[in-house]
Chain A
Amino acid sequence: DQQVKQNSPSLSVQEGRISILNCDYTNSMFDYFLWYKKYPAEGPTFLISISSIKDKNEDGRFTVFLNKSAKHLSLHIVPSQPGDSAVYFCAASALYGKLTFGQGTILTVHP
């Protein structure tokens, strides 16, 4: 039973355009959400997070949106750059709970 799901295995975007990565969760106890980025042969690295008391958090080119009623979050990257090509993992946790990851979405940004 996967409580965090990323239903798009891959996404291809042109450089300079917007990348939108989506994530759905089922556990209503989750109240903290994160995105991680992973390059080949490296471990995931933290990118951006959002608490359930917010519906948007922005950090430079990266913005995470949270829709609690739909149990959905998304990561927007604008403008997308070739160096953004990586696997993006969505993750969620509840207070004092473990971090649960989705299966990742491969983003490819074409020059």
Chain B
Amino acid sequence: DSGVTQTPKHLITATGQRVTLRCSPRSGDLSVYWYQQSLDQGLQFLIQYYNGEERAKGNILERFSAQQFPDLHSELNLSSLELGDSALYFCASSVGGMEGYTFGSGTRLTVV
């Protein structure tokens, strides 16, 4: 157990739907990062939050949004889902980022 908790582990949904992925960071970590991993693209950075505030944005689609709550857990919202959104979505947390992140076990999203 890495200390980073992601739920749900698996999600199957239809095109056009909206889903919410949840992440609880490791105790003491203020930064939360969201990554998307697909077979052909590797790990793609989506967004970072630090202590409740958005810190950096990557290749995140406008249909996707995220937030970090006062208790530091984070949610990634994916809407108007397309087949191409099927991927593994990882959350990671860190104290500062210089020594790497700790990843959760991911949420496997399948859009049918």
Whether A associates with B in a native complex is no
Interface residues, chain B, CB within 8 Å of chain A?
A: none
Interface residues, chain A, CB within 8 Å of chain B?
A: none
